[in-house]
């Protein structure tokens, strides 16, 4: 069954993210004819921001560039990571024991998206005007993972 929603296109963005309307957004942009596009390379942007902040403050940091998206089969939007640097974005818990000692068989955590969603709660989605959130208490990752690592390979994609 084909279900069409007026004025919505579900597309695979050139970054590999599948979302509505290709990430073209008019909210929180001044001017009727202006739109906001996703960054060309959000992982590189996160890395530049992280390196600049680390050099200025002399501490190790992780940076996530986030946006919001709707999810299939769920109402509401959530924050998700479109760029990341210095953050463990994917935590593979396969084989780790659960509370009763059974090895986990299918648990890979989208840690970068979870952090982006937590920050989104503070940032808001409308006129709150909070562009940056500081999450403390986590250790910056000693990893080269990026938000691109959160994308499921097409060969493992259940929906395409």
Render pLDDT for 9-19 as a digit per residue (tens, 0 to 9).
777 788 888 87
* C-alpha to C-alpha distances, 74 to 21, 70, 82, 101, 148, nearest whole angstrom: 17, 7, 20, 32, 23
| Half-sphere exposure (Cβ direction) of 18: Cα atoms closer than 13 Å | 12
Domain assignment present for 103: yes
Mean pLDDT estimate for the chain: 88
Domain assignment present for 119: yes
Name the residue range of residue 93's domain. 40-152
Q: Quick one: pLDDT at residue 160?
A: 67
- Domain of residue 91, CATH code: 3.30.1330.100
pTM across the whole model: 0.87
Q: Quick one: pLDDT at residue 53?
A: 97
Report how far residue 37's alpha carbon sits from residue 39's, in angstroms, rounded to the nearest whole number. Answer: 6
Q: What would you measure as the largest C-alpha separation in the chain, in angstroms?
A: 57
Domain assignment present for 74: yes
Number of domains in the chain: 1
Residues of the chain with pLDDT under 50: 1
């Amino acid at each position: 069954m084909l279900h069409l929603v007026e004025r919505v296109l579900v597309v695979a963005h050139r970054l590999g993210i599948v979302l509505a309307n290709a990430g073209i957004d008019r909210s929180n942009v001044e001017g009727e004819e202006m739109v906001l596009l996703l960054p060309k390379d959000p992982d590189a942007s996160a890395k530049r921001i992280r390196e600049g902040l680390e050099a200025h403050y002399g501490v190790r940091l992780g940076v996530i560039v986030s946006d919001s998206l709707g999810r299939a089969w769920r109402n509401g939007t959530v924050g998700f990571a479109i760029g990341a640097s210095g953050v463990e974005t994917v935590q593979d818990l396969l084989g780790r024991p659960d509370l009763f000692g059974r090895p986990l068989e299918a648990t890979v955590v989208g840690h970068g998206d979870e952090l982006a969603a937590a920050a989104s709660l503070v940032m808001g989605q409308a006129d709150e005007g909070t562009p940056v959130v500081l999450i403390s208490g986590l250790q910056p990752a000693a990893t080269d993972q990026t938000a691109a690592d959160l994308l499921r390979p097409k060969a493992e994609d259940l929906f395409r």
